[in-house]
Amino acid sequence: MTWAEAVTSVAAGLLISVLTTPVGVSGAVFLLPVQLSVLAVPNPAVTPTNLLFNIVAGPGALLRYRRGGALTGPLTRLLLVGTLPGVVVGAVVRVFLVPGPDAFRLVVAAILFPLGLWLCLRAAATRPWPTGPAPSRPRLISLSALVGVVGGVYGIGGGSILGPILVGRGMPVAVVAPAALASTFVTSVAGAATFSVLALTGGGDIAPRWDVGLLCGVGGLIGGYLGAYLQPHLPERALRFGLGALAVALAVVYAVQAGVNLG
């Protein structure tokens, strides 16, 4: 790795995490195109490299949220019950079934684009929109398990999908964000361990790019702490709009990537 690539890795992790942490997204969702297009990380190594980024970057935001008492409550535990086994399944699927998951990108884009647009419209509305009841415990666990599988395939931890869905159901961003990031961190540890075991039993680029993951993670560690510090000072409407905008942007990025690869 050159000095320019090292600086790019740290800067990308820092800037992305500052923007995404306040709404409960680790930033790995936007690091993936940087890995592919700028740092030339091969498939499927981009997925465990993203998980490595989450592991290194996560403690910064979680430490800040813990100091503010935002990590207490049952939501984090419920998310982990589903996402932990899901991410292990997703890692196996990623290695053996979908080494080039462009179809999955299109599915995620189709889900996140209307959901993000809906969140933006709700945040911009002058009158409060009606919201349905919060998901029940069984539905929340089932949803988090499905998101865990997708997170294992992409290396995104799942917070970028769970966050918009739960906030869209009316849950406060201040409650969802810490739980989503904690879930992302723990499931990333499990996912990275699964990929490491699979790397010992199979060929190809399965192991993470340690230099990229660690350097991006250092930037994310600093950016995540700053982002979590900023969150209590931002209004709920701005956080909801930011989460919606990130979901729309991610959908566009994934749709374009999938379109280029399939074309």
What are 192-247's pLDDT values in tens digits?
787 777 777 665 566 778 888 899 999 999 998 998 888 888 887 888 788 788 87
Q: How far apart are the first and last CA of the chain?
A: 30
User: So what's the pLDDT on residue 219?
Assistant: 93
User: So what's the pLDDT on residue 11?
Assistant: 93
Mean pLDDT of 88-92: 79
Mean pLDDT of 122-146: 74
- Name the residue with higher pLDDT: 6 or 129: 6
User: So what's the pLDDT on residue 204?
Assistant: 58
Evaluate whether 192 touches 52 at the Cβ level (below 8 Å).
yes
Q: Is the pLDDT at 116 greater than 60, yes or no? A: yes
Q: Where does the pLDDT of residue 183 fall: very low under 50, low under 70, confident under 90, or very high at 90 and above?
A: confident
User: So what's the pLDDT on residue 65?
Assistant: 81
Amino acid, single-letter form, for residue 72: T
| Tokens found for residue 255 | 């749709």
User: So what's the pLDDT on residue 216?
Assistant: 92
Q: How many CB atoms lie within 10 A of CB 262?
A: 11
User: So what's the pLDDT on residue 218?
Assistant: 94
- Name the residue with higher pLDDT: 181 or 126: 181
**144-169 residue pLDDT tens:** 888 888 777 766 666 667 777 787 77
Mean pLDDT of 162-189: 81
User: So what's the pLDDT on residue 132?
Assistant: 56
Q: What percent of the chain has pLDDT over 70?
A: 83
